Chain A
Amino acid sequence: MIRRAFNTLVVALFALLFATIAVTYTEQQTLPKLAAGYVKLVPQELGAPNVITGILLTYRGFDTLGEVAVLFMVAAGLGLVLGDSTRRRDAVPAESEAIVPSTELVRNGAAILFPLISIFAAYIIMNGHLSAGGGFQGGAIIASGVMLLLLANPEYLVDHDFLGGTESLAGVLYVLAGIAGLIFAGGFLDSRMLPLGQFGAFFSAGAIPIISVLLGVKVGCELSVIIDRFRG
């Protein structure tokens, strides 16, 4: 009773604070100077039509490196908390639940959907510099395809060694690409080390497509490993 009244009071006070902000906020009429600078510079200097990908992968590439590091730390940390292999082996006979194979409808549906999901994920990764998309988004879609396989096929075993090795290799290549930007072009992860190409073409915008592919592979493998850890 006291707890419920206290909860209501806390939520009401927060609602008052938020209502003050939401009501007195006025929309921006023009872009702020930094944003206008980015919108002008990304097509001009980087040759990428998608301004947000240009910001994420070149002008603020160091933040993206930090994000890659956070994902790796989470995968490693989950391996520590959940991935004890002796735990997994002991838990299965104690539960005494036989693994029921899925029905034909589910298996065939998943077999049809998974290639489509993979193609869509590859399209989103490769199209990151031309339209909405990018490495992180495509990697999440691949992981959702893997989750579909895990749900539809209970005996599907994810190869942790292959995924872990691929993810580490992609991460190392990403850092090397950043250092190559330091040596050959303006700064860390500067994508101008490769030629800019024709604006709007598939192979353009310097090294941004390559960095997108590396990010997509890394994020996809990492999220698949994370999802599989929760299964044991």
Chain B
Amino acid sequence: MTNLPISNIVLATGFILVLIGLWGILTHRNILRIIIGFSLIDTGIHIVIVSIGYVTNGTAPIIDRALGPSEAPSRAVDPIPSALVVTAIVIGLAVTAVMLAYAIRLYESKKTLSIDAFTESKW
């Protein structure tokens, strides 16, 4: 099996997702599409964080028949980034829910989903 640089490939995938989300936020005028862009940035960052924890030829940090407790510290993947990402996914959900609630209220006030209609805060 050729030694693919798995960490770099997954890292690049995460960064590409972040770039797509960033492009979506900057380009679109529809509020819901901007929120989808934020969600894409979240997912991309989670993939980046998980990919940093990969150890070459490592396996999941779960002790079972395939991975005994004595050989685990040498063959397991870093568990800390995965634990951080579990928390981060929940926080991303919370932020997306609040953004969507604000989008609903904005729509009810101006009857349109385009952010060009909300110009009160512009200089």
A137 to B105, CA, bound (A): 30
Interface size class of A (residues with CB under 8 A): 35 or more
Cβ–Cβ contact A39 & B87, under 8 A: no
Cβ–Cβ contact B69 & A43, under 8 A: yes
Is B109 at the interface (CB under 8 A from chain A)? Answer: no
A22/B90 contact (C-beta < 8 A), A30-B74, A49-B64, A52-B82 known:
no
Q: How far is the CB of B97 from chain A (nearest CB, A)?
A: 6
List the A residue with the shortest CB-CB distance to B80.
A35
Residues of B within 8 A of A7 (CB): 23, 26-27
A226 to B104, CA, bound (A): 14
Is B36 at the interface (CB under 8 A from chain A)? Answer: no
Residues of A within 8 A of B89 (CB): 136
Cβ–Cβ contact A29 & B100, under 8 A: no
Residues of B within 8 A of A82 (CB): 101, 104-105
* B29-82 CB contacts (< 8 Å) to partner A: 53-56, 60-64, 69, 72-74, 76, 78-80, 82
Count of residues in B whose CB is under 8 Å from the partner chain: 46
Q: How far is the CB of A139 from chain B (nearest CB, A)?
A: 10
Cβ–Cβ contact A136 & B86, under 8 A: yes
Q: How far is the CB of B103 from chain A (nearest CB, A)?
A: 10
Is A114 at the interface (CB under 8 A from chain B)? Answer: no
Cβ–Cβ contact B79 & A81, under 8 A: no
How would you classify the secondary structure of chain A's contact residues: helix, strand, loop or mixed? helix
Cβ–Cβ contact B22 & A67, under 8 A: no
Cβ–Cβ contact A32 & B11, under 8 A: no
Residues of A within 8 A of B93 (CB): 223
List the B residue with the shortest CB-CB distance to A10.
B26
Residues of A within 8 A of B78 (CB): 28, 31-32, 35
Cβ–Cβ contact A39 & B73, under 8 A: yes
List the B residue with the shortest CB-CB distance to A29.
B56
Q: How far is the CB of A115 from chain B (nearest CB, A)?
A: 25
A35 to B78, CA, bound (A): 6
Interface bits A181-202 vs B (CB < 8 Å: 1, else 0): 0000000000000000000100
Contact of A74 among B5, B23, B97 (CB under 8 A): B97
A67/B87 contact (C-beta < 8 A), A43-B69, A44-B69 known:
yes
* A30-71 CB contacts (< 8 Å) to partner B: 30-32, 34-36, 38-40, 43-44, 49-52, 55-56, 60, 63-64, 67, 70-71
Q: What 7 A-B pairs have minimum CB-CB distances, sorted nearest first?
A: A18-B15, A51-B61, A74-B94, A49-B63, A7-B26, A27-B7, A36-B73
12 residue pairs of the A-B complex, CB under 8 angstroms, read A28-B56, A32-B78, A35-B78, A51-B63, A51-B79, A52-B79, A52-B83, A55-B80, A67-B87, A67-B90, A81-B102, A131-B64
